[in-house]
Structures are given as structure tokens and as C-alpha cells.
Amino acid sequence: MSDAPLLKDTERTTGRSALQNNIQAAMALAGAVRSTLGPRGLDKLLIDDDGRTLVTNDGVTVLESAKVEHPVARMMINASSVQDKIARDGTTSTVLLSAEMLQNAWHLVTQDVHPAVIARGFRMAETYVHEILDKLTIESKKEHRLLATRTSLAGKGHHSMQVLLSQLAVEAAEAIHVSTPDGKIADPTRVKILPQSGGSINDTQLVTGLVLAKNRIHEDMPRNVGAGKILLVDGGIERRSMNSDMNLKVTSPGVLESFRAKEVELLVEQVEHVKSLGIKLLACKEGIDDEARILLAESGIQAFRRVARSDLDLLARGCGATLVSEVKRAQASDLGAFISSKNEKWAGVSHWIVETEEGGATLIACGSTETVVGEVERCFADALGVACRMIEDNRLLAGGGATHVALARKLRRYAESIPGREQLGIEAFADALEVIPRVLAENSGLDPIDTLLQLVAEQVNGGEHSHHLGLDVVERKPVNAVEKGVLEPYLITRQSIAGATEAAISILRIDDVLWAKQDPSMPETAQME
């Protein structure tokens, strides 16, 4: 039976042609971020539809900002996004590794090696790599975590910014981590970033507690409050407006006064309920009426209004409180606890600082322009993510391509023990791992082939810790990466290899691509005679 009528509006590519097109798309995507890898990597200028510009060398930012329609390219961008979500670094490496695996696989396909056999070889190689990685790790101390965090910022901004942000990121991760029966957990979402344009990057600082650009709603309220209970309201204490189009005809002056008196009475009832809960601190998402402000001030309660919902959520997590929709519905079980609450003025702007029992911190991101502040925010977010992951898993690996070269060497010896054609897939996997040191050398102005050969030779003759020998792009020669402080978190490298392998195998197994030229439509109904 012919499939021509069924696929008349569909462009179909099969076999090697489909695979070749998919690999070309993958290589094109890798080419877009190739030059951003490493401390000598270059930046990309991104321009959106509204003409806004962004200068960055963050791989996942570049890829997610690009308008890509090819499905294979989208698969690789998704792999990069997952890498960013899990490890916060290694996004460019993931794309480069996956594209290199596919390119090496294509060479084998042209030699009549079946893609399914290559895929099995890749899977065997990945399993072996994960076993070897566990043996190449080093236990980290705080100073090692600081160096690894700084390595993750290599190529992003100038050196002084890298040093400052990596230090602040490690301090923030230490401040927010909690111990559980399953180990330590550090959630980077518990660190708020407060942007402030003007000044210098060096003015960027980390403040213990949650900082909001808010001032207490009445001058008679206490400026500083000690430990106590806090109530969070996903609403306000205001006069209720009538949601109706009806008109009221007032026949007596006393009627209007009674309306107003009733409104005040309702406000008083809400404030009295707040007082009965014994709280010292009140934060509302919406407004607080003037009469209520006076009453709260007389009660010694520090109150804030128009607090963003995101900030209320952070306060709830830090204080162990529950957001209530209305004040009168609040119960003692909804309250949270805080250590201190104070108001301070920075650069003429009032700030509210809350220190909570569950920890938390705020980065005051400073820069001369909004563009600079934005870059500080992105760099700190990446560094914080890496620092938090190292709190949860403190294992480290040598950077500068050292680990990838060591894995490639061990994989080639492992391939010799495999009798079938899967051996070719394992060797192709090993060759792909070496793309990392090659691109590092290329972006540093070095010859990639000569540099790689020199690095391999140094590891072969390097003795017990030969797997620590990586490329120093500053000295332009192989050095002991651990001694130089060029370190990478174990999780980043492991996830990068795993994500790249999954993407490569998924693309490799595609042998038929169908492009629909138009959306399917319902067939026309035949007219009855």
C-alpha cells in the first residue's frame, strides 16, 4: 500500500540523509557557543525583538535566547537547560560533548557501522566513565569550594568581580544550608538578589537576612524589634469597597456617619485580632488603612504594606509562617518566628532587614548601569548554584580538561577489552571527551592538536596524580590543576557527560524525519445529491 496520499503535505527524510541533517543541526548549534568556553572565551551580543541588548558568554543564556526551530537543536538546548537547572554550570560543555559524539558517530556510520551499535557503545562508555569518575574525585575543604566556585565564573566579567562574587556565593551557601537525615541541603532560592544601579561592582555585599526596600508604615512604630512572632497576610487591612454598580440614596445625615463608623469598627476588630495573637511584626501584600496604622503603632507592632508576594513567600519559608488571606482568619498556628527586624537607610533609601530562624541572605547587587547590575545578578546566581551543590556533594575534580583527558585515556584501554563493534563506539566516545581541552586551547589562541598531544603525554608520564594535569590557559602549558586551584564540582562533570550522552543517543536513533508543511485539516464533506 502506498503512503503517498497520507504524506502528500509532508516532507520526509530517511536513513543517512536524516541522520546527516540532524548532526549538521547539532554541529551548527555547538558552533554558536563554542567560542564562549573557558576563561579566555569570548562574549556574545544578544538582541531581542524590542532592540534590547545583552552581552554574555553564558552558554544556556545564548541558546535559550536564540530562535531555533530545528527539533534536534531544540533537543540539545533542552539538555543544556537541564544541565543548568541541576548543576548551574557546564551548559556549554554539554552541547559541545553531544555534538562531538554525533560527529564521531557519523564517521562510523559512513563506514557501515549501524547507529544502534554505536549507541550501545556510547552507553557502555558512559557507564564505565561514571565508575571511573568516583575514583578521580578529591575531598573538598572550604577553600577548595571557593576555588571551584571561582572556576565556574571563569570568563564571566573581570577577575576582581569573579573573586568577589565567588566569595559571597560560598558565604551565602553556608548561611542557608540545613542539615537533614539525608545530608545537607542548600536551596539557592532562599537567597534574594536586590539590584541597585549606581556605584561600583565592589559595593556589592551580602546581608544576613531578607532585605526589602520598604519602610515601616508609621513613624511611631519601633525602628528595631527583637525576636518575636510574625503574621503574613496575603491581603490588607483596608475599608472594603462595594463591588456593585448600585447607588445609595442618603435621606439623613446620620446614615452616612453610621456607614463610616461601621467601617472604622471593622478596622478596629481586625487590629484587635492582630493584637490578640501577640505578634510583633506584620507584613501585608496590600494596603493598611490610616486608622489601622495608628492603632498598630500604639500597640508597638511594626507593620509593612505592599510587600511583594515573592517576598512574602521567602518570609514564610524563613520564619515558618503560613500566609493567610484575611487578618481575621489568622490563628496562632499560622504565625512564624523571627530573630530581629530593623530599618536602615542606604543611599537615601529605607530598607527593611529581617533575620529569620531558618536562615536566609540577600545580595545587594551593585553596578554603574542596569546592564552591569544584570550581569552581576546572573554571575552570582550561577556561582550560588555551584556553591549550593558543593554543600550537598563536596566532591571535586581537576579542571582545565584534566579529567576529560584522563577519562579518554582509560576509555581507550577499556575499549580494547570489548570484542564487538561497540568498541568503535567507545573509542568515538573517548575522542569526544577530548573536545573540552581542544576548545579550551583553541579559545586561548593555542594550537588545539599540539596542546592536546602535549597534555596526553604529560599525563602518561605524570605518575600517581597524572589525572590532575590540565591546561593552564594563562601559563599556556599543562600544570597540576589541583595545585593551581582549577577545580570543578563532581556533579557538574557527571551531569554534563550524562546529559550529552542522552541527547546524542536520542538523535543517533532517529532515522526518519517528517516535516509537516501545514497543519492538518478536516477533509471537505461531500455534497449529497
Active-site residue among 36, 56, 58, 151?
58
Q: Select which of 89, 289, 382, 472 is catalytic.
A: 382
Cβ(208)–Cβ(356) below 8 Å: no
- What letter would DSSP give residue 1? -
User: Is position 203 annotated as part of the catalytic site?
Assistant: no
The CB density around residue 431, as the number of other CB atoms within 10 Å, is 17
Contact (Cβ atoms closer than 8 angstroms) between residue 193 and residue 380: yes
How many whole angstroms separate alpha carbon 174 and alpha carbon 452?
38
The residue among 509, 510, 504, 508 whose CA lies nearest residue 99 is 504
* Chain mean position to CA 303: 33
Residue 208 annotated to the active site: no
Catalytic residue among 36, 56, 61, 91: 91
Residues paired with residue 472 on neighbouring β-strands, in sequence order: 477
Cα–Cα distances in Å, from 108 out to 72, 99, 250, 295? Answer: 20, 15, 90, 80
Phi-psi label, residue 291: left if phi above 0, alpha if psi -120 to 50, beta otherwise: alpha
User: HSE of 321 in the Cβ direction (CA atoms, 13 Å)?
Assistant: 31
Say whether 382 is catalytic. yes
Contact 289, 267 (CB under 8 A): yes
Any catalytic annotation for residue 58?
A: yes
Q: Residue 507: what residue type?
A: I
Residues 92, 204, 356, 501: which is the catalytic one? Answer: 92
Positions annotated as catalytic residues are: 58, 91-92, 382
